[in-house]
Structures are given as structure tokens and as C-alpha cells.
Amino acid sequence: MRNTKEEYYLYVQGEQIPVSHKIYCAYYEEYDHEKYLDKRGEQREFSFDLLQEQGNLLHFGGQTEESLEDQMVKKECLRQLYGALKQLGDKERWLIGRLYFDDCAEKEIAISLGVSRQAINKRKQKILKKLRDILN
């Protein structure tokens, strides 16, 4: 059983405010969750330029003993893809990054932008067509 004599405080604009144990725990649970999300976001950040400079644009997991020719073909395809991605506008590149690199759903992006999922899908299809045209 919890000791009822314990006092809990939160600091608001530098002022110490007494709160209940329940409020104290809820506040720090949310605080810890935000720290976790920030750390996770930092780990998932990417830069097309940085990936291209490093030469390891994408990791193809699950494959073993890939021939040198296959590796070179993939590397050339990725070089062309990233070159095409650089030709996109910032908003187009952002959308492609969110959909294909961050694994966000169209619905999630639509909600964050305040548009319909169909609008996001149409934008995606238009961008993919533009990429196909650039690559052909």
C-alpha cells in the first residue's frame, strides 16, 4: 500500500505545484513517451543525399550470395532512382519518403494534412508516373 504522506510536485514555469500521485504518474508517463518518440524519430531520419554519398542506399535483407553482376545492377538502379527522386519537388519527395521509407499509411498522412485518403493516393500515383517518366 502506498504511503499517503508522500508529496508530489510538478514544475510549471519554474513554480512548484503540488499534485496527486495519479497526476504525477500520468504526467511522467506522457513525458517518457514523448522522449521515446523523439529518440525513435532521430533514429529513423534519412537524407537522400547522405544515403547516396554513403553508397548504401538501401539494404536488401534476406538475400545471400548475390552475384557481383546482380549487386552492380541493383546499385545502378538505385543510383538512377535516387537521381530521379532528386528531380522531384520538396513536397513530392516528402510524400514518397513518408509512404515508402517511413512506412506511413495514406490514411495517416491524409489525416495529418487534413485531406482525404483518395487525395493522397492521387498525389502518389501522379508522383510515381512522374518518376517512371524520368526513369524511361
What would the pLDDT profile of 36-90 be if each residue is shown by its tens digit?
A: 777 776 666 555 655 556 555 555 555 556 788 888 888 888 888 888 888 989 9
Does 10 have pLDDT greater than 50? yes
Grid cell digits, residue 38: 523523439
pLDDT of residue 4: 56
State the cell numbers at 19.
Answer: 499534485
pLDDT at 34 (0 to 100): 82
Per-residue model confidence (pLDDT) at position 1: 47
User: Looking at residues 13-33, what average pLDDT do you find?
Assistant: 84
> Helix, strand, coil: what percent of the chain each, to 5?
65, 5, 25
Which range has the worst mean pLDDT, 20-29, 35-44, 89-98? 35-44
Question: How many whole angstroms separate alpha carbon 25 and alpha carbon 10?
Answer: 10
